[in-house]
Amino acid sequence: INEKMNEWLGEKNVADTLSLSVPNNVTSEMGMKLLDVADVIRPYPEIIEYLQQVKDDNFLDELVQFEGGQQVRVAIAAYLDKYGMRCAGEIDISRTRWSEKPSILVPMILSNIKNLEPGASKRKFEQGRQEALDKEQDLLALLKKLPGGEQKAEETKQMIDLIRNFIGYREYPKYDIVSRYFIYKKALLKEAERLVQANVLNKKEDIYYLTFEELQETIRTKKLDDRIISKRKDEYKLYEKLTPPRVITSDGEIIAGKYKREHLPAEAIIGLPVSSGVIEGRARVILSMEDAELEDGDILVTTFTDPSWTPLFVSIKGLVTEVGGLMTHGAVIAREYGLPAVVGVENATKMIKDGQRIRVHGTEGYIEIL
């Protein structure tokens, strides 16, 4: 038994399996709920065809001309009502929210219709929940056979329940912050609209280049030097070209560490193992979520993920990112969805080419190009 326990606990996948399909995770639910939206659209080929050519954001109102259009419109509107304040890079208040540009969701919805069967949301969640339950029961049965096993099993069961019931709550603070951000954004843009009408600003989005204090001053005085905006726009373009270091301390020190690689293949691309398992598939190197045309079995390779990427996770089989750690968003959701994942892979989006076949070793923390 001890041998079996050591073998089990030596593998990271026990903890990862116990993290599958946890309840009360507002971010992973967001991915599953978009599968439900796909199921509402699925019976209507005309609407699917229409969505494939959607370019503007009035498409929600135009849906009603098709059979099933009203149900589809209601389903998408309900989804946006709960998650529409999210977007890529959502901590930046100036980023375009899904509610402001619903067409961002269309490729993900179409990808769900193409790659997954009806009812995938409930089936995926239930399958993960069952796997976690089976692993828990095996572990507890093994513990009971040890000296003092009943108490060990009871304490372990308490810890498992604690993790499964509460790990999802790590996603709520961000969800709440971003919900408030969208309210602030709408209020600020309303003020900006007044400044445009008073010929103080050229366009309302120009307030993104002012500090809050400068905006207050502009509203008070109804004056603004145009040169400030154009100077800040130029600076912003320059900053966009910079590549931040992978690790930087709070003192501003840049640490350029190297991963240990003794026991790994010579050609391995190395990162941090954050979700166990090994998977092979086609690499999809995607830098912007709107460009995500996924096939079943693809592996997502990107710079970083945040909650807005979660709806893509239901279509992929593995994840590789340049930035991230054991408890960052992508790692937590990958474990909950059961996707092998390696993060903190320097230059992953340059070293791995879109379309290459790769093998992701989520337990060991490296990638091979096949």
- Provide the 3-class DSSP secondary structure of residue 364: coil
- Please confirm, yes or no, whether 329 is among the known catalytic residues: yes
* Amino acid letter, 202: N
CA–CA distance from 68 to each of 50, 60, 61, 194 (Å)?
Answer: 13, 12, 13, 40
Token pair for residue 30? 């967001």
Q: How far apart (Å, rounded) are the C-alpha atoms in residues 88 and 307? A: 8
* Cα 270-273-276 angle, rounded to 5 deg: 130
Q: How far apart (Å, rounded) are the C-alpha atoms in residues 112 and 212? A: 40
Q: How far apart (Å, rounded) are the C-alpha atoms in residues 256 and 229? A: 36
Q: How far apart (Å, rounded) are the C-alpha atoms in residues 256 and 275? A: 24
If 0-12 CB within 10 Å is exposed, 13-18 middle and 19+ buried, where does residue 115 land? middle
Question: Which residues does 206 contact at the CB level (< 8 Å), separation at least 6?
Answer: 192, 229
Token pair for residue 352? 């791995």
- Provide the 3-class DSSP secondary structure of residue 231: helix
Question: Which residues does 37 contact at the CB level (< 8 Å), separation at least 6?
Answer: 75, 76, 79, 109, 112
Q: Are the C-beta atoms of residues 250 and 244 closer than 8 Å to each other?
A: no
Q: How far apart (Å, rounded) are the C-alpha atoms in residues 355 and 185? A: 38
Q: How far apart (Å, rounded) are the C-alpha atoms in residues 172 and 109? A: 24
Q: How far apart (Å, rounded) are the C-alpha atoms in residues 31 and 124? A: 11
- Identified catalytic residue from 124, 135, 329, 361: 329
If 0-12 CB within 10 Å is exposed, 13-18 middle and 19+ buried, where does residue 33 land? middle
CA–CA distance from 263 to each of 6, 268, 365 (Å)?
Answer: 20, 10, 11
Looking at the annotation, which residues are catalytic?
Answer: 329
